[in-house]
Amino acid sequence: MAAVFSKYKLLLYFIVAIIGSAYFNHFPLFYFAPPLLLALYSYPLSRSLWIALASGLWIDLLSGGSPLGFYPTLYILSLMAIYPLKKYFFLEKWTTLPLLTFLFSLLVTSLHTCFTTPYPISLDWLVTDFLLMPLADAVYAFTISLPGFLFKSNTREHFQARSYSKSRGHS
């Protein structure tokens, strides 16, 4: 699976996540969810967990309200819970990253709620935090992964058509 996603593309996803979390922190998306999930597919579990630790520390440094180590713990626990699902979801499918991002967001939010409940739980809060925000994270993952899937499929079709025309004697 490591050949599916190059290290340069993964680096680009992390750069987008760093910029998004630093400059668009007023919109509470889990910007690191897509690159963390892609790292889970590209690297062994131990390396992915180290990447989750670094990503969580970055979020901890940007958010002043949580104790240091809070988000790395949430990210590591969520990645460990998602890891067994790797064999059921194939990275080549365009639905995999949004679905796993939705699940990652749901897990992080659930764990965050277990450790801290800053205000009384209401129906509005449940719908927002457990449905709408994970859905927004999934749409974000789909949006940033769409160009890669479109480019990959167009490139593959282009090369297949070109190799077909060469085998038929056309140049």
The answer to whether position 106 is within a domain reads yes
In a domain, 1, yes or no: no
Name the pTM for this structure. 0.80
pLDDT for the residue 28: 86
- Tally of domains in the chain: 1
List per-block mean pLDDT (blocks of 10 residues) for the chain, which spans 171 residues: 61 89 86 93 94 93 85 96 92 88 95 80 88 94 82 51 51 49
Give the per-residue pLDDT at 166. Answer: 53
Q: Could you tell me if residue 163 is inside a domain?
A: yes
- Would you state the pLDDT for residue 1? 41
pLDDT of residue 169: 55
The whole-number pLDDT of residue 155 equals 46
Is 77 part of a structural domain of the chain? Answer: yes
Within-domain flag for 131: yes
Residue 2 within any structural domain of the chain: no
In a domain, 67, yes or no: yes
CB-based burial of residue 163 (10 Å sphere; 0-12 exposed, 13-18 middle, 19+ buried)?
Answer: exposed
pLDDT score of 2: 42
> How much is the pLDDT for 104?
96
Angle at 36 between CA 103 and CA 25, to 5 degrees: 85
Identify the pLDDT of residue 118. 64
Tell me what pLDDT residue 22 has: 87
Is residue 105 in a domain? Answer: yes
Residue-number span of the structural domain to which 60 is assigned? 7-167
